[in-house]
Structure 1
């Protein structure tokens, strides 16, 4: 396991962090998963108030005794923005009680996804966090986000935060400017769910496996991220101890991309161009806003992946969350398009966006999805 400095927090974190949203079968499974992570060199564990019994299970594991002393563990929990400072104070105390901790190494404002959330933070709840820091209950504060790029950049520019949890992967590079801004401000960068949100790469289609060979798609995505020295750590979210083994096989490989890895990425780019041709959406976001609140770029990104790489299962999984996950995955489904034409003159690639939206809905519409802890 390699370790990197987590921005201005100056914490030295393992390049993989244990995410605890999915280990919730029971307290014993949680304990065994945590112990396996520690044995493999992970020193950063992340939970959240909203992850079911995750905080409670982790607290029980601490009480039972772990193989690594508390002083060598870095523990993060996340709490959503609150309407007032008093509520945030209460939530911090409740999390500390569930976790059986005297202090949190890191507290993340969880789901800073809208401008209203940022206003709530600035208007009051950050005061409670800063008081908790002064009282020794919290050592560092950051935020996690599923929000738009301009919101993320605005949150970083408040200078209130020491780290950020971001979506950023080979198959979703929209937030590259936020990565750069965070690095310039020495803000620690934690990448959320690169295996699942990054493309369900633990169950890749054969087309994608062939293009990535001799590497697995998951390994290649991890290498895309770990080769970027601005990024400190990636979350890995197993449901049991055994699911930690395969991802962490790349935990020592954080050097620059090799020639073979670069060649694999070039094959992926070439395949997308060939498969999509003049129907390829390049994700410029100029088509927004949409009068019907369709997240056109994200819909067409999912179409890109389905057409180019047969990543249809992943695309359906994400598409099914539209209209079902609130501010965590905003936007209406593509069949809401009225063919008003507002987006057409704004598209620099002259895409027939209404036709592509119709095709996307036909390809991807299936059962409704939701967040695991919604």
Structure 2
């Protein structure tokens, strides 16, 4: 396992972190998974107040593991990050820090992140209502060591948050199949923020169950292997999350814990072929993700809709596309925007598109491809 400096926190984290959102089974399974991760060299454990019983499971597991004394596991060489909602007022936020410490059964958090800073309004609120000041006071009194934020927000928002100099690390989306946030990676590195990549296997394309078309295109590598290598070969990125729910789910990804060297010539060749294939298959319908089409009067997130179309058409990533497309109109600020069938043919986006795409037609085409089956309501 390799370790990298987590920006200005000066913590050296394993290049894979154990995310604990999926601990829905039992305390026994959670403890076994955490133990196995630590034995394999993972030293960063990430949880959140909003992850059900995750903090409780993690705290109970750590109490047991730290009490064994014979596994080389000590609190000083385990780094724990938790996330708190950005919707709390100052007194609630202060109390929530103490509650997280109590559930985790620790005296301090190595990292505390504001969870889901996805809009400018949310950021303005946590500043104006005193939550940032509470967090800064908690650093002074030793309850937390470092403050960061996690986000599903726009590139523009992420850059703004990085530039506030209020945070020491950022958790964000960035993958081979979603490189919109490349500028945020560059800015965070320039500002010496630790960089934590959220869910590269799942949000990065459901690459643990890739379609046969994509597997053939990435041969002799697997799609997930290439995504891990794309990320780990970038020395600016500190750590990637693994959301393992049981010990055996750690074995395969942790094989790449030492694979942090530059991309090989063969890996670069396969990645280049992926681009060429998409260009060939999509032809004049390929969206380049320039975002010039926004804003849309109907609040359709045109670039994201068309990104999902790119992936579905070029690589047959239909399952992933349907999974993400269903989130439109259902996930609020976590995945904003309306579905493609909301287009009214107003035409405002057309003159802004450098590729001169027929955007209304492509939006409807995406909807037809990715809408999936409509489920019956219980009262119907």
Tell me which interval the TM-score lies in, with the shorter structure as reference length: over 0.9
1:55-204 correspondence to structure 2 within 5 Å: 55-66=55-66, 67=71, 68-123=73-128, 124-204=130-210
Structure 1 position 368, deviation (Å)? 7.9
Structure 1 position 84, deviation (Å)? 2.5
SS at match of 1:253: coil
TM-score (normalizing by structure 1): 0.97
Matched, 1:10 2:10: yes
Structure 1 position 367, deviation (Å)? 5.3
Matched, 1:248 2:248: no
Deviations 1:215-260 (A, max 9, x none): 1100100000000000000000012111011111111010100000
1:209-288 correspondence to structure 2 within 5 Å: 209-288=215-294
Which residue does the alignment assign to 1:361?
A: 367
SS at match of 1:127: helix
TM-score (normalizing by structure 2): 0.96
- Number of residue pairs matched? 369
SS at match of 2:255: helix
**Structure 2 unmatched ranges of 5 or more:** 376-380
Structure 1 position 23, deviation (Å)? 2.4
Asked if the contact 2:23–2:53 (Cα under 8 Å) also holds between the matched residues in 1, the reply is: no
Q: Matches of 2:47 and 2:58 in 1, distance apart?
A: 8
Q: Matches of 1:286 and 1:25 in 2, distance apart?
A: 45
Asked if the contact 1:316–1:364 (Cα under 8 Å) also holds between the matched residues in 2, the reply is: yes
Structure 1 stretches of 4+ moved >3 Å: none
Which residue does the alignment assign to 2:378?
A: none
Q: Matches of 1:156 and 1:367 in 2, distance apart?
A: 40
Match of 2:358 among 352, 357, 364: 352
Q: Matches of 2:88 and 2:48 in 1, distance apart?
A: 18
Structure 1 position 120, deviation (Å)? 1.6
Q: Matches of 2:119 and 2:167 in 1, distance apart?
A: 16
Deviations 1:163-184 (A, max 9, x none): 0001000000000000000000
1:299-314 correspondence to structure 2 within 5 Å: 299-314=305-320
Q: Matches of 1:234 and 1:261 in 2, distance apart?
A: 19
Root mean square deviation of aligned Cα: 1.1
Structure 1 position 25, deviation (Å)? 0.7
Asked if the contact 1:19–1:47 (Cα under 8 Å) also holds between the matched residues in 2, the reply is: yes
Q: Matches of 1:206 and 1:307 in 2, distance apart?
A: 13
Q: Matches of 1:36 and 1:267 in 2, distance apart?
A: 37
Asked if the contact 2:301–2:337 (Cα under 8 Å) also holds between the matched residues in 1, the reply is: yes
Asked if the contact 1:226–1:254 (Cα under 8 Å) also holds between the matched residues in 2, the reply is: yes
Indicate how the Cα distance of structure 1 residues 238 and 366 shifts in structure 2: closer, same or farther if over 3 A, else same: same
SS at match of 1:245: helix
Asked if the contact 1:23–1:33 (Cα under 8 Å) also holds between the matched residues in 2, the reply is: no
Q: Matches of 1:42 and 1:120 in 2, distance apart?
A: 35
**Structure 1 unmatched ranges of 5 or more:** 370-374
